A and B are shown apart, each in its own frame.
Chain A
C-alpha cells in the first residue's frame, strides 16, 4: 500500500509530502503519524509541504487534524514551506488554518520545535516535576 515515509530524528518526526495526495493517502498519513507519535513518544512533528502545488480544504483539514491529535498526545506540530500561491488560494478558499503553527522553511520550523520543546522541559523543571 502506498505510504508517505515518516523519518525520526531524536524526539522529532519529519515528513516531506512529495506526491499529489489522494484523499485516502492523506488519511493514511494522519493515522500513521498519530500512531508513530504515541509509539516513539515524539515531542515534535515537522511537515514539509514545499512540494505541494495545491492545498485544498481536505488536505488543509487533514493537516489541522494532525496538529490537534499531536497536541493531545503532547507533541507540537509545525507545517513548513507553503508556496505563496498556495497560501493566497487557501485564504481565499476560506481556510486560514487556525491552530496550525507554520514556518517558512525546514530550518526555522526545526528551530521553533527545539525552542518549544526545550521551554516545555524548563517549565516542568521549574514546577519541580521530575521524570
Chain B
C-alpha cells in the first residue's frame, strides 16, 4: 500500500442508501482521475461490494477515499473500516462461495480481483479494515 496521499474524503456507511452514495462519490473521483470506463466500473463495483460488507457484517462504519501518488503513478485508494465483530478466518473469507450470510460469497474475493492492491486487517472483536487501490 505504497503511495503518498494527496487528498481525501470520508463518508459514513450507516444504511443501504449510504452505499448508493458511496458508489456515486467513488464514481466522481474515478471520473476526475480520468480512469478508463472499465476501470471506473471495476472500482465502483468493488466499492459497492466492500461498502455492503461494512454495513452488513461490520454493523456500519466509514469509507475514506484518497488520491494516491507513487512516482509517476496515480491511483485511488479506498479504506473501509468498521468496529464490528471482525473476521476470524481471513483466508476462508476470501474464498469464492464462502458466505457467512445469504450472500453469493463473492464480495471479498471478487473485490480483490477487481483491484490492483488489496489488504485486509481484522481480528475477532476488533473490527475490520479493508484497503484497496486501483492504479491509473
Contact = CB atoms under 8 A, between A and B. Distances in A.
A57 B16 contact: no
Contacts of B114: 89, 92-93
Nearest to A85: B41
Q: How large is the interface on A (under 10, 10 to 19, 20 to 34, 35 or more residues)?
A: 20 to 34
A86 interface: yes
Interface string A47-70: 000000111111011000000000
A32 interface: no
A10 interface: no
Contact of A60 (B19, B96, B104): B104
Contacts of B107: 57
A69 to B, nearest CB: 15
B20 A22 contact: yes
A57 B41 contact: no
Place the interface of chain B in its size category: 20 to 34
A53 B44 contact: yes
Interface in B16-36: 16-17, 19-20, 23-24, 27
A95 B111 CA distance: 12
Interface in A11-39: 20-24
B106 interface: yes
A88 interface: yes
B42 interface: yes
A53 B42 CA distance: 10
Given A22-B16, A85-B38, A88-B42, 7 more contacts: A54-B41, A57-B106, A57-B107, A61-B104, A93-B113, A93-B114, A94-B96
